[in-house]
Amino acid sequence: MSDISRRDLVVSASGAAVLGLCGPMAVIPDALAQTKLKQGFVNYDIGDIRCTSLYDGIWKKPHDANFIRNAGVEDVKSALKEGGYTTEFVPIEFSQTFIKVGEKNVLVDSGTGGQLTPDAGMMMKNLKAAGVEAKSIDTILISHFHPDHIFGLMAKGTNEQIFPNAEIMMPSKEYKFWTDPSIVSKLPKNRQGLALRIQATFPKWKNITLFDEGEKQLLPGVRSIPAYGHTPGHTAFHVSSGDKQLIIAGDAANLPALFLKNPNWHLVFDGDPKAAQEARVKLFNRVLEEKAVVAGYHFGFPNAGKLEKDGKGFAFSAFTG
């Protein structure tokens, strides 16, 4: 396993060169890592594209025997301890990625909107702290329709649009699944409310653009990458500038210490566990092959950094600017 732990939160200066990141980087103490967490955003560059990791918060999920279908609570605690995390609960963090593509301000996923857990909902504040006004967002790319990725698009109670002037780009495969009226009765009860909320909003919004299945050019230097399995249309995004690359992995893996270290583990939230596992391995092998920076929605903060092979799995080392 990489000797750079979660608590180190960085990559070395030589590693930064490999990643194509601008400016020197060095190992930082935990106190500085906490300062960055309080700051709520971290900037980095992929060639000429400015990227920003935005912190939305954390879900301190109680341990649950059903959380991983093919591993037990003690396995989870052991993996968390090895990764440098608390074992009192499963620390599932939420982080969005902002990218500046030419003159366009692009947000990838919209966060929890403060509607899921009391310790999340900070993205809008941190976006502003990073110098970006919400009204200046031109495009929002949506990876999939789980609540922590789309509730930031709509106000609690009223469903009023938070970004009414932005083009919201969504995978057509995901959209068709969730907006099918017949799907509600087929879903588990804990997902039926989500489907109903989606059906009450997205079909009425005029600023949604759907992109087709397969790898598609969405914006200059930005392509979709099918990574189906977590949900029917779950999509990752490939960002490139010159020979520098970033893969925004969405929920292809959840917490790195669990699902990168053990890519064969099946998360309870994966709609099709086998397909999700296959997509996970394929996507992260691609990250290695392309020597890309990787950003994961639940990778902690900051959510971007370096990926390495680690036995049968992978190890993630976050960085900070």
Give pLDDT tens digits for 238-264.
Answer: 999 999 999 999 999 999 999 999 999
In this structure, is the dihedral angle defined by the CA atoms of residues 80, 85, 86 and 90, taken in order, positive or negative? negative
- Stretch 25-45: mean pLDDT, rounded? 71
Q: In Å, what is the CA distance from 199 to each residue of 128, 165, 232, 233?
A: 30, 20, 16, 16
Residue 192 has pLDDT above 50, yes or no: yes
Question: Closest by alpha carbon to 240, among 220, 224, 218?
Answer: 220
- When pLDDT is cut at 50, 70 and 90, the band that residue 8 belongs to is very low
The pLDDT of 71-88, averaged and rounded, is 96
Q: What is the pLDDT of residues 94-127, one digit of tens each?
A: 999 999 999 999 999 999 999 999 999 999 999 9
Mean pLDDT over residues 217-223, rounded? 97
Residue 319 and residue 301: Cα distance in Å, rounded?
9
Q: Is pLDDT above 80 for 11?
A: no
Q: Which pLDDT tens digit goes with each residue over 123-181?
A: 999 999 999 999 999 999 999 999 999 999 999 999 999 999 999 999 999 999 999 99
In the predicted structure, residue 219 carries a pLDDT above the cut 90: yes
State the Cα–Cα distance between residues 142 and 100, nearest whole angstrom.
16
The pLDDT score that the predictor gives to residue 319 is 80
Q: What is the mean pLDDT of residues 60-79?
A: 97
Structure tokens that stand for 158 in this block: 């009223």
- Going along the chain from its start, the domains and CATH numbers come out as 37-303 (3.60.15.10)
